[in-house]
Structure 1
């Protein structure tokens, strides 16, 4: 329970070296000595069961005679009813003590719309915090006041023990210093109890207390060189672009319309260019002679691409012209072959039947050869190659002469 945190805090606070010192650091020797002394009292003077009493059980015990000394919240009615004597908690040295404090919170409702009521509520807060009201709760109800100068008032000291209240050395819990005090106080007790009731060491237990309130991170230096090729400002530019891309997803929330769609495309385009700009800046900064870089870029990349494009167009035009020319040449070759065949037949008209038979066979052979020649010409001229038109004409002429000779 929370009472355990209060007892631990005020006991550690009572191990300071002087009354003006602040609460000891958890890893200091004062904190370690405080935990060791607490465990010694538990094992040699008290017991585990009594140390684990809650506030209700302690309050019941105060009205019995089964204790030599006990620690509890200060309330004026307990010593009056029980007849016990109230004193300061002992510290590690004379003049040093520790007392945890608790208080009530006062606030004004922020939803009050009437300005007069707000001012009236503020006046009530002022009165509660005034010295006059603090004297009333001290003298009439015996409560402790945070305004210590009222214990210098003679009228107040006639009714209460001012020396007792002035000797208190209060310590507050870190309620407002932490984001989640409820989690802290539970983990704080768990860490200290691991030493008091377990086998943990005080040093490790206090280190665990430190770990509750700290954030740890790990860095690996061997990976830093992966990111060294860009400077920190350029990395920031790239990250800004990435973050903007993520933010762009919120544009799609709600009803979709043409404006949102256009805006999203615009945002994505801008962020992509932001990332590219970071790389361009890196190139510009790290090149001593940017002119050489530009010349190299255009001479090795841009111009070859243009040249290849023009070459492809000229090749297509050249092949088209060659195909048309080859078709005309093939037609002429076929005509020449037919004429030569007719001339051969007319010249050998007076040959005998035996010779006619031989000539007929030779004519068939010649016709077959002519067809083979024509097929070869067609296959040759339709082949994809860079042969000039002059060479094509020469080849066709030589083929025709060969046919005539045959």
Structure 2
């Protein structure tokens, strides 16, 4: 299993890995060194990948390559293919003994490696990549004209694929010929186009945010989310328990920036608390700030990982960055969420839009000139807490998610296609 990205890209893969191990498979997870302690803590074998993932905003400003975000994303996702001992070389080395490969979108070279090795291969990304009229390619900008939206949605997939493929094709073809001893691919081959033509088994984990589009065929599986629950062996601090026991359910705020991309100051958070009449739990990315912050009767700072399944059920509303994992955890808890995606990460903006369109939360997508003030955020928080229609819908979705087993559905899809592959080989 190869996954590249942040903690949110690794955590669901660990959940799936544990399910596959329980089903009798030997599993390795190949990802960056920063995740080794987390992966090993679950008894999953770790394969270290020396992939440096630069800060996207810093990368774009340093390169000054385009003034179009989608093109910046494409350059960012493919630029490290060209360096010595790149992702291509490391993935090829890591997959030598594999009998099947599961990969997320940023680890897409696994697709070509499986072709060379002649083994089953599955794409399991955290964002949709198959063509549909229901929603646009997540990495492309949204289209505002409703009467052309379906057309734009449909063509956003081949358009992105063509641009991306033209950008990576020289490097990929050189690697295919020199390392994999495979034929080069033509200009119009594409990556996603080739994957869809081959009907590569794909396992998505973002139900019920998205219903399976009618255009998606049987080889595309839409499971519920792959939750990795850790609260059974986790104990909250006495201070946290005491804070939660007093007054109305508090607000949870995580990874929120002002218009200059600085985290909210304590003074701003206290203002939000005063305007909403709610206490606030702040999940800070600054460990020193969380450690040194003065605990008051209004604010409580935490750092490090904390089980969402334990905490979110005790919150009134969750304010977050729009990551899929956080959204799914808030939906399972049955509480409204307000998503404020960081401008340089388009999958967060995509999931934020899906959340709002489903009537399960509020999108707070800022433009470059917008300021995320205490007054604006407090008003949106109050709106989410008081929206009875949203609360009713959330209860329905929460009950549905709790009855589903996304990991088991994914394993069944894995075995379904593994059996087909085995029968073809025989």
Does the pair score TM above 0.5?
A: no
Higher percent of residues as helix: 1
Q: In terms of Rg, which structure is larger?
A: 1
| TM class, shorter-length | under 0.3
